[in-house]
């Protein structure tokens, strides 16, 4: 081997030549081929890969939509209608992009739920979790700005309401809003910058996803038992086991996606967004897209402008410190008899918030939203810290293979005899 | 569950299989691979098709020209599919000039009669066949080159009164677009 060349294990001469100089094939083989992965994943572990696929779909459809979109207030709405009517398969590309946003949030919400239920945010995966929260925030910003681009009524008024959130900031609020708008109302400069950022942010997301996956491949994946693999008997190589399992999930995902796109493409949208933006008239019932509803409900639950905005952003920001709020060393809720039920209650609570966010902000709906907001925060700030001290977890299995293979499974070599390094 | 399928926890599974199982794996790989290739192809199709001209572009793909007010010796330029089309009302001398040339001596041999539907009316796409510039010669004050047709200022190609290349780097004659006389004084290009 010449000095400076990577020692490659590939036989194909072309692959080998490249690999010796830039070992990407070795890297792929290591990270996606032989990568040792806990053998007991359930289907919740599909959703990271699905999110990755979804991101690629959004970028691909978005690039092609941008080829026909005009980011100007006088052209935007009609350019989108032209995509729907005149551009070859424009309707398909736009509906995939539109419903792709919803699919992305469905997938990512399940992915986050998986992390919450199985304790994937706990040591040593705190940074991995925090990068995930960054991705979630970037996604929400991207989705919001994308929704503004068709320049329909909901686009315009959504943009107006969301940018006005920043006016709640004391002293500098109004200046910040003027800065965001590039004028004195949501108008052409706003649309232009939103388009620019909507095109930029997905690539920033790609960058953070890379870091998210890089961090994952240092700590390794969590698993439904929440205990660490203790040797090769607890893991299987990523390929073919999880490439195959992810493919099964992917097919189901595509079926749901195709159903939305081909049968109910506008089910998750608002009809009002097919009315061109009119700065003189607000639609009677203005609600954000479904994926923002829980946070929208929290915003409206607080009878104070600044308080509502802080609570809404706080509901997401609190996820950053979750690894330090939940001090229980047991990751998986399977072994936490109390936390499990309170976590499931929190999940139901989240769905109720989503429902309440889509209702008018009056009467019982506000009361429900307030109770749910209280529980949302109480779970993180009171229940988890308290349970970390008082809850008595169930005994953890000795190892993954012991738990999932009846009769103990094949033990291989000394690795199996290695004592548990931590509870 | 994936774990029940694992015959061993060795990181490499290939060596553990007999030849018979290897064949099954090969079959599955082939089927999965073909499925993926066809799927990606089916998805790529609409994306590529979306880059072709849209319906509104195609709807504007023909242009009507009124010839009644183009005097003999005069030429007008009309837009057709984003390109200039030269419509020239030729004088008898110009027609004579175009028809007296020995066709076989031309770089792109084509008889004048084959390039016009009615002798006075020459209709050609005003795009030089070299690298796409618009040749001069529509205005009486423009240079028309030594052959009385058009002169391309970019690289000096010269065209005759039939729009045929006579000198310079261009390889072909100016293109005659598809057109039809809708009446004696009206044409539709495209």
Q: What is the reported pLDDT for A419?
A: 45
Residue from A19, A228, A234, A289 carrying the catalytic annotation: A289
Beta bridge partners of A235: A38
Question: Is the CB of A245 less than 8 angstroms away from the CB of B5?
Answer: no
User: pLDDT band for position A108 (50/70/90)?
Assistant: very high
**What's the confidence (pLDDT) of residue B25?**
84
Tell if the CB–CB gap between A82 and B49 is shorter than 8 Å: no
What does B38-94 look like in DSSP terms, one character per residue? HHHHHHHHHHHHTTSPPHHHHHT--EEEE-TT--TT-EEEEEETTEEEEEEE--HHH
Q: What integer pLDDT is reported at residue A345 of this predicted model?
A: 98
Nearest to B50 among A42, A93, A241 (CB): A93
- Between A and B, how many CB-CB pairs are < 8 A? 74
Mean pLDDT confidence for B146-172? 94
Confidence of residue A420 (pLDDT cuts 50, 70, 90): very low
Cross-strand bridge partners of residue B189: B63, B179
Nearest CA in chain B to A92: B46
Looking at residues A157-182, what average pLDDT do you find? 94
Q: Does B46 contact A at CB distance below 8 Å? A: yes
Q: Does B5 touch chain A (CB under 8 A)?
A: yes
pLDDT higher than threshold 80 for residue A410: no
Q: What CATH architecture is A35-408?
A: Up-down Bundle (1.20)
Distance from CA of B32 to the nearest CA of A (A): 10
Q: Which two tokens stand for residue A409?
A: 């499974």
Rounded Cα–Cα distance for residues A135 and A48 (Å): 12
∠ CA(A324), CA(A378), CA(A302), 5° rounding? 120
Q: Is A217 a catalytic residue?
A: yes
Tokens of residue A322, six digits: 């979750």
Q: What is the pLDDT of residue A270?
A: 92
SS3 B181: strand
- Pairing relationship of beta strands B63-66 and B186-189 according to DSSP bridges: antiparallel
| Nearest chain A residue to B4, by CA | A405
Contact yes or no for A236 and B3 at CB 8 A: yes
Q: In terms of DSSP bridges, do strands A36-38 and B83-89 run parallel, antiparallel, or are they unpaired? A: unpaired
Q: Give the pLDDT of residue B57.
A: 87
Give Cα A59 to chain centroid, integer Å. Answer: 16
| CB atoms B50 and A68 under 8 Å | yes
Over pLDDT 70: what percentage of chain B?
Answer: 88
Indicate which residue of A79, A102, A120, A221 is catalytic. Answer: A221
Query: B169 or A1: whose pLDDT is higher?
Result: B169
Cβ–Cβ < 8 Å for A177, A160: no
What end-to-end distance do the CA atoms of chain A give, in Å? 45
Please tell me the distance from the alpha carbon of residue A255 to that of residue A262, in angstroms, as a whole number: 10
Interface of B with A in 49-88 (CB under 8 A): 49-52, 54-57
Choose the weakest-confidence range: A143-157, A264-278, B18-32.
B18-32
Tell me what the mean pLDDT of segment A18-37 comes to. 94
Instruction: Mean pLDDT check: name the lowest of A18-22, A414-418, B160-164, B168-172.
Output: A414-418
Query: Is the CB of B2 less than 8 angstroms away from the CB of A68?
Result: no
Res. A201: pLDDT tops 50: yes
Burial status of residue B132 (CB atoms within 10 A of its CB: 0-12, 13-18, 19 or more)? exposed
Buried b (16+ CB within 10 A) or exposed e, A309-346: bbbbeebeebbeebbebbebebbbbbbbeebbebbeeb
- Flag if A242 and B2 touch (Cβ within 8 Å): yes
In this complex, which of B2, B10, B57 lies closest to A241 when CB atoms are compared? B2
Is B102 within 8 Å of chain A by CB? no
CA-based Rg of chain A, rounded to a whole angstrom?
24
Q: Which residues pair with B160 in a beta bridge?
A: B148
Tell the burial category of A155 from Cβ atoms under 10 Å away from its Cβ (0-12, 13-18, 19+). Answer: buried
Place of tokens 């108008």: A187
Distance from C-alpha of A112 to C-alpha of A140, rounded to nearest angstrom: 14
Q: Search chain B and give the residue with CA nearest A235.
A: B9
Q: Which residue has the tokens 């019982």?
A: A364
The pLDDT score that the predictor gives to residue A407 is 54
Q: Taking a C-beta distance cutoff of 8 angstroms, is the pair A159, A152 a contact?
A: no
Residue among B46, B52, B55 whose CB faces A92 most closely: B46
CA distances from B149 to A271, B90, B135, B143, B165 (A): 59, 10, 9, 9, 9
d(CA A268, CA A104): 13
Q: What is the mean pLDDT of residues A254-277?
A: 96
Residue A422: is its pLDDT beyond 70?
A: no
Please compute the mean of the pLDDT values over residues A245-269 and round it to a whole number: 96
Q: Residues of A at the annotated binding site for a ubiquinone? A: 217
Alpha carbons B114 and B119: distance in angstroms, whole number: 10
pTM summary value: 0.85
Nearest to B56 among A82, A232, A235 (CB): A82
Provide CB contacts within 8 A for A27, sequence distance 6+. Answer: none
pLDDT single digits (tens) A332-379? 999 999 999 999 999 999 999 999 999 988 889 999 999 999 999 999
Please confirm, yes or no, whether A245 is among the known catalytic residues: yes
Residues of A in Cβ contact (< 8 Å) with B57:
86
CB atoms within 10 A of CB A254: 16
* Run of H or E residues at B158: strand B158-160
CB A164 within 8 A of CB A190: no
Q: For A388, what's the count of Cα atoms within 13 Å in the CB-facing half-sphere?
A: 17
Confidence of residue A112 (pLDDT cuts 50, 70, 90): very high
Q: Percent of chain A, pLDDT > 70?
A: 95
The domain made up of B57-189 has a fold known as Rieske Iron-sulfur Protein (2.102.10)
CA dihedral B163, B164, B169, B170 (to 10 degrees): 70
> How confident is residue B4, by pLDDT bands cut at 50, 70 and 90?
very low
The answer to whether the CB of B141 falls within 8 A of the CB of B151 is no
CA distances from B172 to B4, B78, B138, B175 (A): 70, 22, 19, 8
B13 contacts A401? CB cut-off 8 A: no
Whole-angstrom distance, CA of residue B183 vs CA of residue A99? 52
Asked whether residue B28 carries a pLDDT value surpassing 90, the answer given is no
Name residues whose C-beta falls within 8 Å of residue B70's C-beta, 6 or more positions apart in sequence. B76, B87, B89
| A421: number of Cβ within 10 Å | 7
What does the block give as tokens for A314?
Answer: 């706080």
* Catalytic positions of B: 155
pLDDT of A403 reads: 86
The interface residues of chain B toward chain A in range 24-43, judged by CB-CB distance below 8 A, are 32
Residues from chain B that touch A401, judged by Cβ atoms under 8 A, are: 9
Taking the alpha carbons of A118, A124, A128, A131 in that order, is the dihedral positive or negative?
positive
Residues of B in contact with A42 (CB under 8 A): 1
Q: Could A235 and B49 be called an inter-chain contact, meaning their C-beta atoms sit closer than 8 Å?
A: no
HSE (CB half, 13 Å, CA atoms) of A102? Answer: 22
Residue A285: pLDDT band (50, 70, 90) is confident
Sequence-ordered list of residues with C-beta below 8 angstroms from that of A106, at least 6 positions apart, any chain: none
Question: Do residue B3 and residue A404 have CB atoms under 8 angstroms apart?
Answer: yes
For residue A416, the chain B residue with the least C-alpha distance is B9
- Give the chain B residue whose CA is nearest to the CA of A401: B3
Using CA atoms, how far apart are residues A347 and A282, in angstroms rounded to an integer? Answer: 33
Q: Residues of A at the B interface (Cβ-Cβ below 8 Å)?
A: 34, 36, 39-42, 60, 64, 67-68, 82, 85-90, 92-93, 232-237, 240-242, 244-245, 247, 401, 404-405, 410, 412
B22 pLDDT more than 70: no
A39 to B5: CB separation less than 8 angstroms, yes or no: no
**Which of B1, B2, B27, B40 to mutate: most A Cβ within 10 Å?**
B2
Mean pLDDT of all residues belonging to chain A: 93
What's the rounded mean pLDDT across residues B168-185? 94
Tell me how close the Cα of A54 comes to any Cα of chain B, in angstroms.
14
Q: What is the model's pLDDT at position A405?
A: 80
| Residues facing B158 on adjacent strands | B151, B167
Would you call A416 helix, strand, or coil by DSSP?
Answer: helix
């Amino acid at each position: 081997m010449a000095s400076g060349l990577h020692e490659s294990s590939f036989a194909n001469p072309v692959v080998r030549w490249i690999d010796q100089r830039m070992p990407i094939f070795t890297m792929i083989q290591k990270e996606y081929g032989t990568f040792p992965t806990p053998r007991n994943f359930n289907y919740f572990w599909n959703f990271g890969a699905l999110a990755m696929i979804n991101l690629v779909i959004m970028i691909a459809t978005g690039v092609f939509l941008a080829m026909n979109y005009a980011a100007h207030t006088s052209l935007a709405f009609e350019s989108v209608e032209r995509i729907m009517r005149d551009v070859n398969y424009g309707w398909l590309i736009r509906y995939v992009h539109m419903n792709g946003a919803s699919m992305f949030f469905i997938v990512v919400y399940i992915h986050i739920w998986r992390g919450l239920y199985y304790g994937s945010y706990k040591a040593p995966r705190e940074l991995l979790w925090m990068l995930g929260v960054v991705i979630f925030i970037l996604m929400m910003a991207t989705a919001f700005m994308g929704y503004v681009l068709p320049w329909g009524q909901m686009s315009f008024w959504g943009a107006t309401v969301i940018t006005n959130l920043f006016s709640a900031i004391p002293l500098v609020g109004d200046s910040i809003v003027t800065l965001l708008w590039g004028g004195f109302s949501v108008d052409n400069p706003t649309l232009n910058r939103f388009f620019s950022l909507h095109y930029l942010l997905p690539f920033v997301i790609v960058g953070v996803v890379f870091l998210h996956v890089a961090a994952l491949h240092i700590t390794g994946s969590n698993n439904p038992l929440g205990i660490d693999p203790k040797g090769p008997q607890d893991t299987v190589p990523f390929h073919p086991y999880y490439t195959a399992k992810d493919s099964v999930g992917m097919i189901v995902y595509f079926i749901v996606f195709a159903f939305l796109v081909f049968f109910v493409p506008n089910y998750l949208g608002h009809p009002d967004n097919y009315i061109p933006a009119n700065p003189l008239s607000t639609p009677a019932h203005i609600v954000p897209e479904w994926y923002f509803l829980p946070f929208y409900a929290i915003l409206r639950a607080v009878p104070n402008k600044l308080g509502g905005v802080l609570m809404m952003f706080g509901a997401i920001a609190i996820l950053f410190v979750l690894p330090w709020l939940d001090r229980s060393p047991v990751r998986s809720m399977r072994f936490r008899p109390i936390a499990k039920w309170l976590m499931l209650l929190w999940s139901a609570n989240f769905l109720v918030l989503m429902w309440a966010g889509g209702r008018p902000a009056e009467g019982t709906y506000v009361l429900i939203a307030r109770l749910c907001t209280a529980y949302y925060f109480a779970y993180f700030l009171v229940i988890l810290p308290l349970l970390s001290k008082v809850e008595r977890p169930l005994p953890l299995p000795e190892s993954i293979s012991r738990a999932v293979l009846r009769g103990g499974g094949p033990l291989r070599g000394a690795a199996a005899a290695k004592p548990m390094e931590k509870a | 569950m994936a774990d029940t399928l694992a015959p061993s926890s060795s990181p490499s599974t290939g060596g553990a299989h007999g030849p018979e199982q290897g064949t099954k794996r090969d079959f599955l790989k082939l089927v999965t691979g073909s499925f993926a290739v066809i799927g990606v192809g089916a998805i790529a199709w609409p994306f590529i098709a979306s880059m072709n001209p849209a319906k509104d572009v195609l709807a504007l793909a023909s242009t009507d020209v009124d010839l009644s007010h183009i005097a003999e010796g005069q030429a007008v330029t009309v837009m057709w599919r984003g390109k200039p089309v030269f419509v020239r009302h030729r004088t008898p001398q110009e027609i004579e000039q175009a028809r007296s040339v020995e066709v076989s001596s031309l770089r792109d041999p084509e008889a004048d009669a084959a390039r016009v539907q009615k002798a006075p009316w020459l209709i050609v796409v005003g795009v030089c066949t070299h690298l796409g510039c618009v040749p001069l010669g529509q205005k009486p004050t423009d240079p028309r080159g030594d052959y009385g047709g058009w002169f391309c200022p970019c690289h000096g190609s010269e065209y005759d009164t039939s729009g045929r290349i006579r000198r310079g780097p261009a390889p072909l004659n100016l293109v005659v677009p598809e057109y039809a006389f809708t009446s004696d004084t009206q044409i539709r290009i495209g």
